[in-house]
Amino acid sequence: MASNTQIDHLVQAYIDGELTPSEQARFEKELQDSSSLRRAVKEQRETTALLFEAYGEARLKHDLRDGIMAHLPEINHERLVQEVNYRAKHPENPLRWMRYLIPALVPLVLIAIGFMLYASWPDPQAPTGKIIGVVAAKDGRFKRVVSEDKKLQNASLRSEVRVGQRYRTLEDSRAMFTLAGGTSIKLASESEITILGERHVEVHSGRIWLEVGKDGRLFQATLPTGKATVFGTVFQINVRNDDTLVTLQEGEVTVQNKNAFWDLEPNEQVALSQSHGPLLPRVVDTNILMSWAEGIAPDPQSQEIFSRIIPDAQKKVVSHAQPVWRCDTRNRPEPTAITFSWVSEQNLKGHCGYEVYVYDETMRPLFLLNAIPGAVLDAGNNKEGLKSFHVDIPETQSLVDRVVNIRLVPDYSAGHVHTTFTEVTAVGF
């Protein structure tokens, strides 16, 4: 059944005979079923008759259509008159225009929703690693590398430093980090570094000054041409085109390339070349070489933030000593390998590996042995009992009739569980 509003709009058109055949059929059906509609038609007819009589003298005595139509030759006159009459007697819903507007608004609404989702969606380049420090100072254009294609973002003072983040200073800029464990790192201009952990960095380019906190743990710096391993110390790394200079001011640093290693003493410098040649340290004036770092001081507020976000920054860490094993090969067959023995703990996994350094009797560096992988130490713990692992001595080296010292330095790239070795011997097969 049609609504009252729709029926009211059709009453006058029904009286004037202007309904379409289908509209007239529906209206007359409603007229049969509704007494109120019959009453409305009756009242409308009476009203129309009264108006006709009341305005009888004012109404036109002749038809104006022919005169008007003669002046509008290009218009479909009959259709125009019919449309005007129809619209006057069939007023449309005022919201009818929304039918045309909604299709145009839908794409705009979808675009707005998409923009809001994009703005709130997690940034794939957003930092997610563990917080281990803060940017303690910056001067000039200091950037964070955020993607594999080395896209740069501004790095702000007092911002958090996380594991895995890579930083770069541009021309005429400098920066400083403070890391958990009491380590400070300063970057000269045009330098780049990745913070791999509290005690591990990778230096890509430029000049880096480091003061490593003495918390009992090794600190490692991976270099383009080698590696530097330290406890608490102050040293500098300068990556050049063909080599990397490592300069020690205080403490102890062990530097190595593929074929050799050297324990630097204070005020010594060594060049790690791409050719992996022998390491030849020389004495230098570290006060002059490192004077540039004195002009970079931490921002006081950054230190307050550091103490707040890393509350255990001054926590003491248990030190794992680096034992030096003495091997005497005098009056014995020529040794061809070094054997490392330990008592395994069943199903204990996650062992660190060990770098193996060989020194002469006076602790002068001789050569490197192949490292002991952490996976080997894990595999040896499948069953409890005494285990051993052999590392071959290079054919170019000889340990005949002499005393050597073997030093083991942990490599934490595979794990952090230490192994307690019970014996290290030089053996011949």
Q: Is the pTM of this model over 0.75?
A: no
Q: Which one-letter DSSP state was computed for residue 327?
A: E
pLDDT at 94 over 70: no
What does the block give as tokens for 369? Answer: 């042995």
State mean pLDDT over 67-82: 63
CA distance 419 to 377: 8
365 vs 99 pLDDT, higher one: 365
pLDDT attached to residue 91: 60
150 vs 377 pLDDT, higher one: 377
pLDDT digits (tens, 9 = 90+) for 141-174: 899 988 766 788 899 999 999 999 999 999 989 9
CA distance 311 to 151: 32
314 vs 237 pLDDT, higher one: 237
pLDDT attached to residue 88: 60
Q: Which residues make Cβ contacts (< 8 Å) with residue 95, sequence separation at least 6?
A: none
State how far Cα 371 lies from the chain centre.
33
pLDDT attached to residue 202: 95
Q: Which residues make Cβ contacts (< 8 Å) with residue 179, sequence separation at least 6?
A: 132, 133, 161, 185, 195, 198, 213
pLDDT at 258 over 70: yes
pLDDT at 119 over 70: no
Of 75-79, 121-125, 396-400, 413-417, the range with the lowest mean pLDDT is 121-125
CA distance 420 to 334: 27
State mean pLDDT over 126-140: 84
Rank 75-79, 416-420, 422-426 by mean pLDDT and report only the highest: 422-426
Looking at this protein, which amino acid is placed at residue 316? K
pLDDT attached to residue 59: 65
Is the CB of residue 374 less than 8 Å from the CB of residue 352? yes
pLDDT at 346 over 90: no
228 vs 14 pLDDT, higher one: 228
**Of 233, 207, 231, which Cα lies nearest the Cα of 219?**
231
Mean pLDDT of the chain: 82
pLDDT at 124 over 50: no
CA distance 372 to 377: 8
pLDDT attached to residue 270: 93
- Order the strands of the 385-392 sheet from edge to edge: 385-392, 337-344, 421-427
State mean pLDDT over 174-181: 93
Rank 5-9, 66-70, 326-330 by mean pLDDT and report only the highest: 326-330
Of 133-147, 149-163, 367-381, the range with the lowest mean pLDDT is 367-381
**pLDDT band, residue 233 (cuts 50/70/90):** confident
pLDDT attached to residue 123: 47
What number of other Cβ atoms are within 10 A of residue 413's Cβ?
A: 14
Looking at this protein, which amino acid is placed at residue 36? S
pLDDT at 322 over 70: no
pLDDT digits (tens, 9 = 90+) for 286-295: 999 999 999 9
State mean pLDDT over 243-268: 90
What does the block give as tokens for 90? Answer: 């069939």
3-state secondary structure of 243: strand
Looking at this protein, which amino acid is placed at residue 177? F
